Amino acid sequence: MPAPRRKRLPTDFFDRLLSNQTDDQMNDLLSSLVDEQIAPTPEAVPEESPRLSSPVAAAKKYAKEFHRDKIEDSIVTRDEALDDFSGPSGESGGDIIPRSARMAAAGVVMPPVVEPKPAWEEASPQVPAEPAGAGWKQTGVSRLVEQAGAALPGADFTVPEELLQDIPSDQVLEASRPEVPVVDWTAALSVPEVPRTPVPEPVRSSEPVRSPEPAGVPGVPAAPVPAMPTAVAALPPTHEELRRQRRSVRWQRPPLRKPKMPKLAVPTPPITFKPPKDKIDLGFSLDRLMKTRVRRASKAALLFLLPAFLGFSLFSWYPMIKGFIISLYNYAPLGTSTFVGFANYARAFHDEVFWSTLMHAGGFCILALGLGFWLPILLSILLNELRWGKGALKFLFFLPFLMPTVPAAILWKWLFDQGFGLVNALISLLGGNPHIGWLTSPQLALLSVVLLYIWKNTGWAILIYSAALASIDETLYEEAELDGAGIWGKIRHITLPSIRAVTGVMFLITVINTLQIFTEVFILTNGGPMNATEVIATYIYKQAFFYMDIGYASALSFVLLLMLLVITVFRLRRLGPEGD
């Protein structure tokens, strides 16, 4: 290699390079450097200093000072730091493309950037190892110098000192930026594997064993091998290991990425406004004032809660306890009550009518779910597809819900009338039996009440399902179409899963409502014919106010409470944390 001819860079080289020039201008600059045959430096650079160490060391020193200044100022906000970093001058604040990349893009043909030395060279004492500066060689001034050197083959530059005094802060920041950490692959790889051959080697020593120098990588110093805790000696690396080792030391170009925030020694303080409490003399302590006010508020809170607390204890807790106590008595409203223990509950257990009320309530629930649960889902999905008339149809569906339960039940009593009701008239129009006893035959009575229930509550359910359907993200459908889903597929895989939460809640609401149904049954059939529609609530009512057996009615109430409590707890758990 011939002796390098040293050339002096023009003093404004970096300024021109770093100022926001177009690529063409940069290209011109570089070619002018070649053409002008920059004069060699008169003074000789001491040979013992590594080629690039002194400018970069100076840059690092500068960077440290710069940091200290910054710290002393301690007013660097995140944005300012970004501004400092992102571009040489203020006008290109967002420019994050490395200059080398820009040069490459402009067509400046450059031989590959001087390859970073592999890890073992990096660790060698030639360059004093700096804790945070593992990647500094590739950055900042040095890279520029290298690039310039590479662009002028055969030339070798030194950077004049005065340039280094004046390095713009952004470059220094870049220089001090730790780049992609260089992994010491040799160290990582040199963890010896368990020898594959089970034949035990003769024990050599328990000292740290150095693996012999791999034959395939000349000049690579032997990597230190951690001491083996066992007596098994490290085998010479196999061929496979050597190959892996050789492959691993190949340099990989760090990916081009947005430069990270330079790490400042002091984290930028969060920008919050704190009222200067102690600096303004208010004549009193604002802090203490606030504290007393808040304490006063939490005392006042008790007064705010008092009415509700009284209400709940008088009308919820106390009746519940009282109901339980009375259920243990043979309660006589006028005479003396006698304590009977759990006899009322035992009586309920043996009461055939009570069991039949449970059966009817369960049957009512199943009928209402089987006939009426899917209907609003289907109707709301269909309604959602309509382009016009949606509102009108929804209003028509909703009308029955608007009707209070009592008139609705009375109306249906007339519709179900055996002699002159509309339902029978329509059936006779279709050629059926015109005198079906909807409310008088024990087989049909329960079904009639269920029909009333469905008629009344479908519109309400449609309203809720429609709200749920409207909140489905439409892009889900688009994605499903891209995946080739048909209409049925979309319904099955998107619509139904999306409204699943609502369906679950509606299911439980229906169960709870049907188990404690009273008004519809009371008006339509009053439990008749022959107890065929007797449900729990009507039975309790009859026990309490017809047979005046209030103790027994209380016991039945408590059973109903426990039953519904189980379901409600289940429902609240289904609702999840937002349920309460």
Partner 1 sequence: MEHRTLLSPSDRRNTGVKIFMVLAVTVMVICAAVMVVPFLWMVATSLAPAQALFSWPPKWFYGTLDFSSYKIAWLHVPFATYIFNSVIYCTGVVAGQLVLSSLAAYAFAKLRPPLGKFLLILFLSTLMIPAESLLIPLYLVMKEFPAASLPHTNLISTYWGLILPTVVSAFNILIMKSFFERLPDDLIDAARLDGCSEWMIFRRIVLPVSAPIFTVLGIFSFITTWNSFFWPLIVLNDPKLYTLMLGVNKMVEAGEPWNVVMAVVTLTTLPTIFIYLAFHKYIVRGVVFTGMQG
Q: According to CB under 8 A, which residues from 544 to 573 bind partner 1?
A: 544-545, 550, 553-554, 557-558, 560-561, 564-565, 568-569, 571-572
* Residue 97 near partner 1 by CB under 8 A: no
What is the distance between the alpha carbons of residues 169 and 165, in angstroms, rounded to a whole number?
11
Q: Which stretch binds partner 1 (CB under 8 A): 191-199, 247-255, 357-365, 451-459?
A: 451-459
Residue whose structure tokens are 């990989």: 252
| Local structure of 158: helix, strand or coil | strand
To partner 1, the closest distance from the beta carbon of 305 in angstroms equals: 5
* Residue 111 near partner 1 by CB under 8 A: no
Contacting residue, 251, 304, 339, 355, with partner 1 by CB under 8 A: 304
Token pair for residue 334?
A: 């006028």
Phi first, then psi: give them for residue 226, nearest 5 degrees: -60, 150
Contacting residue, 3, 308, 334, 430, with partner 1 by CB under 8 A: 308
Question: Smaller CB distance to partner 1: residue 171 or 380?
Answer: 380
* Residue 332 near partner 1 by CB under 8 A: no
Contacting residue, 156, 518, 531, 542, with partner 1 by CB under 8 A: 518
* Residue 414 near partner 1 by CB under 8 A: yes
Contacting residue, 61, 253, 322, 500, with partner 1 by CB under 8 A: 322
* Residue 319 near partner 1 by CB under 8 A: yes
Q: Give the residues across from 158 on adjacent strands.
A: 8
* Residue 312 near partner 1 by CB under 8 A: yes
Question: Smaller CB distance to partner 1: residue 53 or 519?
Answer: 519
Footprint (CB under 8 A) of partner 1, residues 374-393: 375, 379, 381-386, 393
**CA triple 570-576-578, angle to 5 deg:** 130
CB-based contact 410:523 (threshold 8 Å):
yes
In our burial notation (b when 16+ CB lie closer than 10 A, e otherwise), range 37-57 reads ebeebeeeeeeeeebbebbbb
Contacting residue, 111, 224, 318, 346, with partner 1 by CB under 8 A: 318
Residue whose structure tokens are 């770093």: 18
Contacting residue, 412, 438, 453, 539, with partner 1 by CB under 8 A: 412
Query: Taking Cα atoms as reference points, which of 370, 350, 353, 410 lies closest to residue 532?
Result: 353
Q: Which amino acid is at 21?
A: Q
| 283 to 148, 276, 279, 286: CA distances (angstroms) | 68, 14, 11, 9
To partner 1, the closest distance from the beta carbon of 467 in angstroms equals: 5
Give the other-Cβ count within 10 Å of 103's Cβ: 19
Dump strand ranges (E) for 269-340.
329-330, 338-339
Contacting residue, 116, 214, 372, 459, with partner 1 by CB under 8 A: 459
* Residue 525 near partner 1 by CB under 8 A: no
Query: Taking Cα atoms as reference points, which of 472, 521, 520 lies closest to residue 498?
Result: 472
Q: Which amino acid is at 418?
A: Q
Q: Which stretch binds partner 1 (CB under 8 A): 63-71, 206-214, 286-294, 438-446?
A: 286-294
Question: Smaller CB distance to partner 1: residue 205 or 433?
Answer: 433
| Local structure of 5: helix, strand or coil | strand
Contacting residue, 3, 39, 265, 429, with partner 1 by CB under 8 A: 429
467 to 506: interface string for partner 1, x by CB under 8 A = xxxx---x--xx--x-----x--xx--xx------x--xx
* Residue 274 near partner 1 by CB under 8 A: no
Contacting residues for 507 by C-beta, under 8 A, at least 6 apart: 369, 373
Contacting residue, 100, 245, 344, 458, with partner 1 by CB under 8 A: 458
Question: Smaller CB distance to partner 1: residue 370 or 579?
Answer: 579
CB-based contact 93:87 (threshold 8 Å):
yes
For the chain, the 3-state helix, strand and coil shares in percent, each to the nearest 5, are 55, 0, 40
Contacting residue, 46, 131, 275, 307, with partner 1 by CB under 8 A: 307
Query: Taking Cα atoms as reference points, which of 136, 137, 144 lies closest to residue 110?
Result: 144
Token pair for residue 67?
A: 């940091």
To partner 1, the closest distance from the beta carbon of 350 in angstroms equals: 21
Question: Smaller CB distance to partner 1: residue 190 or 503?
Answer: 503
